[in-house]
Chains A and B, each alone.
Chain A
C-alpha cells in the first residue's frame, strides 16, 4: 500500500501534485468525512476515550488538592519558584501554534495541502490552549483572586500593571484562544450544515442545525464568508507570532542569566511550530488510520509536515548554539556559568535529552524514506514532543536553580502532584480531542472539495498549455486596416 501510494504521489505525468488520492467525486468526500461521526461508536474510540477520561479525573483530583492545600504540594520552592507549572504552560501553548500556522499562514501562502489537516489541527490548537490556560490559572496560589489578572476595578482600587510581560501574556493567550475558537467555528459552519442536511434523527438535525445558523451555501454568503476567512487568516498570522513572542518575554524581560536574551521571541516561535507540528503528526497518524482517511491525508501531507519539522527543529538547534555563543561572547561570567551549568551541571541529563530529541533526531527527515514512513513519523513525533517539553524545563529550571549567591542554590524534584497535573493535562487534551472526532467532521470538506480538479469551473476546458501554444501562433502585431 505504502509503496503504491508513494509511486502515485511521485507521478511526473500528473503535473500538479495530487493532493487527494483515488480521484474521488464530491459525494465520496462527504461520505468519508461524515461516516466516522454518524457510525455507531466504534470500540476503538472507547479504548482511547476511557484512559483519557481517567487522566482528566486525575487532573481534577490534583487541582482540587492543590486548591485545598496550596502551592506547597508541588515540588517548587525558593530558588526554583517556577517549575513544571510554567513548563507545562509553555509546552501546551507551543503545541497550540501549529493549528493556526496551518490554517492561517499556509492559507495566506496558498498551500492547498493544508485543507486535509487544518480542521483537526485547529481543534488541537484550541484544546492545547485550554490546557495552557489552566496552568497560569492554578499556579497563582490564591485562585479565588485570579480575577486580579484582568483589568477590572477591584476592592483595592488597584489596576494590573500593563507594563508587565506577565499581563501581556494574559492578554495574548486569552485573545489567541478566543480568535482560534472564532476561526475554527467559522470554518465549521458549512460542515455543520452538511451534518444537518445528512442527519437522520431529529436530535442531530436540531443540534447541528442550531450551530449551522441556517447556512445554505449561497454564493452571496460564500462571498462574505471567504472575505471573513481571509481577514481572519491575516489577523491570526501576526497574532500567532505575537503570542509565543510575548510568552518568551515573560522570561526575556527579566534580568536572570539564561532568560535575559533577545533571541527568545524568534527562538520560542520556531520551537512552538516545531512541537505543534509534532503533535499534529501524532494525531493525524492515529486518525487517518482509525477513520480510513488515507486518501485525504496522504503521505504527501506527511512529507510536507516532516519537512517543516526538520526546518523548525534545525532553527531550534541553531538557537541553542547561538545562546551558547552569546553567553561566551558577552564576557559576562554569570551568563556563561548558566550555560556551562546547563550542559554540565546537575540538570545536564535534561539538557542532553533536549538536544538529542530536538536537534539530532529530526535530522532523519533529510531522507524521504523517513518522511513517508508512518512508524518513523509516529515515533519521531513523540520524541520531538518529549524534547520540547524538556526544552522548557531546561530554560526555566536550570536558570533558576543556581542563584547569584551559592547559599541560594537548590535542586528541583517533582512531587506526585506535579506529575499528576502534567498527566492530567494530557487527559484534558485527549478527552477533548476524542469528543471532537466523535461529534464533529474532522476534515474541512468544503475546503477539500475545492482542491479536487473538477471543482475548477474551467475543468475540462482547453488546458493552459494549448492556450499558450495558440497564443504563440498568433501574429505579434495586429495589421492595420488596409495593410496586407
Chain B
C-alpha cells in the first residue's frame, strides 16, 4: 500500500532530477529506467503523456474500487434513510401511498450514491497522491518551475536500492537528458 510507506528519503540527498526535451525522449528514457530495475522514481510532465504509465510500469490505479465502495455506501445510506423516515421513524400516509414506496425512493438513492462516489473519487485521489503536500524537495530546483509549463523530468530518489549519485546521473545523461541535477533533501 503506497499510503503506508514513508514519504521522503532521509540523508543528504533527495535524489537526481534530469530534464528531457520532448515527451518522446522522456518516454524512451522511462522505459530504460524501468528496465534497469529502479523502483523509487517518477516522471514529471505538464500534462499526462499518453501511455507513460506503461512505460514506467505502473500498476492500475486502485481508485475505482474506492469509488465503488463510496458510491455503494452513499446509495445504501440514502435508501436506508428514506426507509427509516417513512416506514419506521414517522410513518405518515401521503396521497394514500404505502409507507415503504421504494420506487419513489430511487431518485434520491441514486443522487446520494453519485454524491458519495464523487467525493470518494476526489478524496481518494488526494489520498493516493498524498495531496495536499505543499513542501517537497523538488521545488528547490530552479528548472522544476517549468514542470507545469513545457519541461519533462525524471526524478530518481536516493533511497532507491539501485541509486548511486554518479552512476545514476551518468545513466540519465546517456538516455538523452538535457541537464542532470543532484538535489538536497
Contacts and interface: CB of A to CB of B under 8 A. Distances in A.
Interface in B70-101: 71, 81-82, 85-86, 89-90, 92, 94, 97, 101
B47 A197 contact: no
A178 B111 CA distance: 11
Interface in A190-219: 190-191, 193-194, 196-198, 209-210, 213-219
Contacts of A194: 46, 148-149
Contact of A231 (B58, B107, B115, B121): B121
A161, A178, A246, A447 — which one has the most chain B CB atoms within 10 A of its CB? Answer: A161
Nearest to A115: B47
Interface in A210-241: 210, 213-228, 231-232, 235-236, 238-239
- Chain B at the A interface: mostly helix, strand, loop or mixed? helix
B129 A220 contact: yes
A159 interface: yes
Interface residues of B, number: 72
B156 interface: no
Contacts of B86: 159, 162-163
Contacts of A456: 23-24, 50
A447 B50 CA distance: 12
A217 B44 contact: yes
Contacts of A246: 107
B46 A213 contact: no
Contacts of A225: 48, 125, 129
B178 interface: no
Interface string A294-310: 00000000000000000
Given A26-B149, A220-B58, A457 B114 contact: no
B129 A457 contact: no
B134 A214 contact: yes
A460 B24 contact: yes
Interface stretch (A80-88, A165-173, A269-277): A165-173
A214 B133 contact: yes
B118 A179 contact: yes
B55 interface: yes
Given A171-B112, A446-B47, A219 B58 contact: yes
Interface in A449-484: 449-450, 454-461
**Residue of A164, A190, A219, A447 ringed by the most chain B CB atoms within 10 A:** A219
A457 B23 contact: yes
A431 interface: no
B47 A224 contact: no
B150 A26 contact: yes
B63 A231 contact: yes
A224 B129 contact: yes
A456 B22 CA distance: 9
A244 to B, nearest CB: 13
A25 B150 CA distance: 8
Interface in A353-374: none
Q: Which of A157, A217, A461 has the most CB of B within 10 A?
A: A217
Nearest to A180: B118
A25 B92 CA distance: 65
Nearest to B89: A159
A240 to B, nearest CB: 10
A197 B148 contact: yes
A54 interface: no
B131 A232 contact: no
B149 A30 contact: yes
A83 to B, nearest CB: 25
A346 B118 CA distance: 46
Contacts of A185: 122
Contacts of A190: 46-47, 148
Contacts of A238: 110, 114
Contact of A182 (B48, B67, B112, B118): B118
B111 A223 contact: no
Contact of A219 (B45, B108, B114): B45
A179 B114 contact: yes
Given A179-B118, A457-B24, A457-B55, A218 B48 contact: no
20 contacts: A179-B115, A197-B147, A197-B148, A198-B145, A210-B134, A214-B131, A217-B147, A219-B45, A219-B48, A220-B58, A223-B61, A225-B48, A226-B48, A228-B121, A242-B114, A445-B46, A447-B47, A456-B50, A457-B52, A459-B24
